[in-house]
Amino acid sequence: MKKCGILIIFLIIIFGAYTFFSQRQQMQDADQTFIYNLSEANSCFGVDYTKLSEEDKISYYMKAASSLNVAIYTLKYTSYDDKQDLGNALGSLNLSISLHSASQSTNRSRAFNEKEHDIFMCLSHITFNTNDKNNCKELIKVTNEIGY
């Protein structure tokens, strides 16, 4: 009976350790996926849109929006401290470049032609220091200037 109790305790410890390390690996994978998609979105803002065809512009818009979406949805599984501010900042940028409700809307062109350097710098800083709240605040400030 005593051996059975020790075996059960041993199995519980093994199962707990496996679960802990498995969750840790999943969190590291989520961190890598988040950073990769943030970098992919960021690369779309490092392009001179005045030299691109309309088809290429749309391709970059779609790549930026889809990469931001994946980063936003992956964020909740990451190990980063301030997920709320980071999610709000990325969400507001995503709305700024995705919403095109009115034909006169200039938010997308402003984001990719006037504010692309500011967005590029904010996303670069967030990529390298995801826990810095100032980077999130700066990105929200830039997206508020762009509008929705």
Tell whether 15 is covered by a domain.
no
Residue 36 belongs to a domain: yes
Does a structural domain hold residue 44? Answer: yes
In a domain, 109, yes or no: yes
Residue 111 lies in a domain: yes
pLDDT in tens, 22-37: 999 999 999 999 999 9
Q: Are 77 and 27 in contact (CB under 8 A)?
A: yes
In a domain, 6, yes or no: no
Residue 22 forms part of a structural domain: no
- Tens-digit pLDDT profile for residues 74-119: 999 998 877 888 888 999 888 888 765 455 567 677 777 778 888 8
Residue 83 located in a structural domain: yes
Spell out the residues 6+ positions from residue 40 whose beta carbon is closer than 8 angstroms to its own: 63, 67
Place of tokens 């990529």: 127
Domain count, the chain: 1
Q: How far is CA 5 from CA 1, 15, 18, 34, in A?
A: 6, 15, 20, 43
Can you give the pTM of this predicted structure?
Answer: 0.81
Range of the domain at 107: 29-146
Phi, psi (5° rounding) for residue 76? -65, -15
